Chains A and B, each alone.
Chain A
Amino acid sequence: MPMKLEIGNFYVKDVVFGKQTAFENGILTINEEEAISVINAEGNLKNIELHIARPGESVRIFPAKEIVEARARKDGRSTFPGYIGEMALAGEGSVYALKGMAVTAVDQVYCTKDGLIDMSGPAAELTHFAKLIHVCFTAEDAMLGTSEAAGWYFGDFGGHMAHRKGAARLAEYLGRTVLEQEPEEVEVYDFDQEVDPALPRVAVVKQLSNAMGQPGLSTQFYGRDTFAQVPTVMCPTEVLDGAYAADTVMFSAFRDYTYDFQNAPIIKGLYQDHGKKVNFVGFIPDSNDAAYPDKVRTSNRIVALAQLLKLDSLIVVACANGHSEISFFTTIIKLEEAGFKPVGICQESPMHGGFTQPKIMLDPRTKALITTGADGTVLNLPAMERVIGNLSQVGKNANLGTWEQDAELGPSLHEDGSLVIDTFAVCGHDGNFGWSNKACRNF
């Protein structure tokens, strides 16, 4: 089992285009032509262009498909083994990371899980992604043909893998710029250290995204689909080091992007207390399949693992609303009944006006819960000077959080480029993995 990971951080102050792809004095320079060839290694994308969006700028990114932190490893191992490189075990050794920026894949056609990132204005206050410099590429899926109607829903055509893997490849290409340099700081995650046996033993349970149960769409685990996966125990360092890549099913507000796995605050936060206040034992993925018997099987296995690992408690992290809430509460209730004291993290969905029942299921056996924000909160967003992507897709193709016409609010997209949308459409809004700066209250 991998036990110790070092993340060497390089802080990026700005990103510019230039002759040679290089990192110097905090400035990342990108050779566009070379970067585009890296993105399109398999030739499944067309009309690729690069764009840079900085925090505070009047820029709107839409529809954003994937967000990845730029990283590389000196030992030559792929940053995403089994996904864009040879299969290997993640979570060990040293990885270098470009901090304060991300690589973001943007399409021309909206698909259900794509989202919006505003770099300034009211929506920017609500997501951690607005604090990053985004190296965006816009591209069309060469396989999509000319029909906009085809493939819009959950992403046929292999789950938009060309965009997703394109982002991971560009991230690794940019990460290589720092391999011969010394990181500004090194984060160490050492699970091999001696820990006081009296400390409470805790694990993180994280729901993955598998609602469609179809190949290519689900959260990727070493490049393999995670639906019907039996819960296992992993060293948390694996999660931080490329074991997972984002799904292409979940709506942008609660979707875990690849960046979120690489930087999961609940893992990093719990590690801060590891050996001091807690004994952070491991990470347990919940495959979160849609069918009820699978939910029962999975929650049983999670309880069994908790017993085998002699845990005192678990932090259970939800990934979405709808059927995922059934999985989430089923697991929490079973853990409570087995004598554990789980703490749940989930979002609420009270919708426009805040009048709707915020969870589809609640149970008095749920003792400790924090919630991360309200899906469906209406936002009035000003027009931005620059759009990366295609704003005409707002309200199209069942774009959750935007609409063609609403009886009260009118169309989402106004002629001047301003929007009225709700928080379902904001990338990273819920931040269940621990990012969220929001809580819900009764009014």
Chain B
Amino acid sequence: MQECKQVVLYINQFFGGIGGEEQADYPPSLVEGAVGPGLAMNSLLKNGKVTHTVICGDSYMNEHTQEALAEIQDLLAGLAFDVLVAGPAFMSGRYGVACAEACNFASTKLGKTAVTSMHKENPGKEMYPRAMYILEGSDSAARMKADVKKVAAFTDKLVSGEPILWAEAEGYFPRGIRKQIITDRTASRRAIDMFLKIPLGLDIDGVIIGAVLCIVICVAGSLLAG
């Protein structure tokens, strides 16, 4: 029996059941066990378990970031855990930024692996691309179930030590890291197959456009980061 890995969940005041916009200044608190999306995660996780939940108001994290992170540091002091999961944040801008801050803090200050989920237009996506895995999420909380399912599956993979594949295969946004993989087709075969699709009047397939786009995205990422 594999040891069950411990997951800390970060969520905002709304999903933490504290309240709506009127509670957005809620300072961080730590709750034992899973709250909100954590309940669904725990029903899906096979190799891990949400043992604690950090709840923090979106305005508090956005407007008092350093204080919020310092308070979270105090709350988590002495707590053994393996992964921090934040969100899912959907297209909610302040929540996405808060999740990115919490993940970046867990990754760079605490040395933990951090995972979140948000929509591709969420401003939180661009903040610390290499500090965390951001799974591509929906634009609305109506699709919470689907996003939590992805987060739980990815978190399971992380805690069980399985190799994390490239962005497209796993469903996270590229982090500006370019690596090689071993393929079963030689470069010669790949080039000839690609060539054969072009002059015969077929559409250039997604692989080609994907290859060029991947590089363009990666270069853009490098330029932004560098």
Tell whether A116 is near chain B: CB-to-CB under 8 Å.
no
Given contacts A438-B181, A443-B167, contact A370 B191 (CB under 8 A): yes
A277 touches B196 (CB 8 A): yes
B77 within 8 A of A: no
Q: How far is the CB of B187 from chain A (nearest CB, A)?
A: 4
Contact status A439-B215, CB under 8 Å: no
Q: Are B192 and A441 in contact (CB under 8 A)?
A: no
Nearest Cβ distance between residue B203 and chain A, in whole angstroms? 12
Q: How large is the interface on A (under 10, 10 to 19, 20 to 34, 35 or more residues)?
A: 35 or more
> Does B40 make an interface contact (CB < 8 A)?
no
Given A362-B215, A434-B188, A436-B187 in contact, is the A370-B194 Cβ separation under 8 Å?
yes
Q: Evaluate contact between B180 and A377: CB separation under 8 angstroms.
A: yes
Are A362 and B166 in contact, with the CB atoms below 8 A? no
Q: Is the CB of B195 within 8 A of A439?
A: no
- Cβ distance B76 to chain A, nearest Cβ, rounded Å: 27
Tell which of A315, A354, A367 touches B191, judged by Cβ atoms closer than 8 Å: A315
Q: Which of B58-66, B95-103, B204-212 contacts A (4 or more CB under 8 A)?
A: B204-212
Give residues 183-225 of B contacting A (CB, 8 Å).
183-184, 186-192, 194-196, 198-200, 204, 208, 211-212, 214-219, 222-223, 225
Q: Contact: B208 with A367, CB < 8 Å?
A: yes
Residues of A within 8 A of B214 (CB): 440-442
B222 touches A441 (CB 8 A): no
Q: Contact: B222 with A356, CB < 8 Å?
A: yes
Known contacts being A341-B198, A367-B208, A431-B187, is A358 close to B218, with CB within 8 Å? yes
Cβ distance A180 to chain B, nearest Cβ, rounded Å: 34
8 A Cβ contacts from A380-438 to B = 423, 431-438
Contacts of B93 in A (CB 8 A): none
* B196 and A440 contacting across the interface, CB-CB below 8 Å: no
B178 neighbours in A (Cβ, 8 Å)? 348, 350, 354-355, 358, 374, 440-443
Interface footprint category on B:
35 or more
Say yes or no: B174 contacts A442, CB within 8 Å: yes
Q: How far is the CA of A135 from the CA of B217 in the complex (A)?
A: 44
B207 to chain A, nearest CB (A): 9
B215–A348 CB distance below 8 A:
yes
Q: Is the CB of B195 within 8 A of A269?
A: no
Given contacts A313-B198, A438-B182, A442-B166, are A355 and B222 in contact (CB under 8 A)? yes
A273 at the A/B interface (Cβ < 8 Å)?
yes
List residues of chain A with CB within 8 A of the CB of B4.
Answer: none
The reply to whether the CB of A200 lies closer than 8 angstroms to some CB of chain B is yes
A254 to chain B, nearest CB (A): 12
Could you tell me the distance in whole angstroms from the C-beta of A415 to the nearest C-beta in chain B? Answer: 29
List residues of chain A with CB within 8 A of the CB of B215: 348, 358-359, 362, 369, 371
Q: A25 contacts which chain B residues (CB < 8 A)?
A: none
Chain A hits for B146, CB < 8 A = none
Decide: A350 and B179 in contact? CB cutoff 8 A: yes
A350 to B188, CA, bound (A): 22
A278 at interface, CB cutoff 8 A: yes
A268 proximity list for chain B (CB < 8 A): 188
- Cβ A368 vs Cβ B192 within 8 A: no
User: Which of A266, A277, A436 has the largest count of B CB atoms less than 10 A from its CB?
Assistant: A436
Closest B residue to A359 by CB, please name it.
B215
- Docked Cα-Cα span, A367 to B226, in Å, equals 26
How far is A359 from B208 in the complex, measured between Cα atoms in Å? 17
- What 0/1 pattern do residues 230 to 272 of A give for CB contact below 8 A with B? 0000000000000000000000000000000000011011100
11 A-B pairs with C-beta separation under 8 A: A200-B199, A350-B179, A357-B226, A362-B216, A364-B212, A368-B194, A374-B180, A423-B180, A434-B186, A441-B167, A442-B178
A residues with a Cβ closer than 8 A to B are 125, 200, 202, 265-266, 268-270, 273, 277-278, 312-313, 315, 341, 343, 345, 348, 350, 353-359, 362, 364, 366-374, 377, 423, 431-443
A-B interface, 9 closest residue pairs, ranked by CB to CB distance from nearest: A434-B188, A441-B166, A442-B174, A350-B178, A265-B188, A436-B187, A200-B199, A374-B180, A269-B188
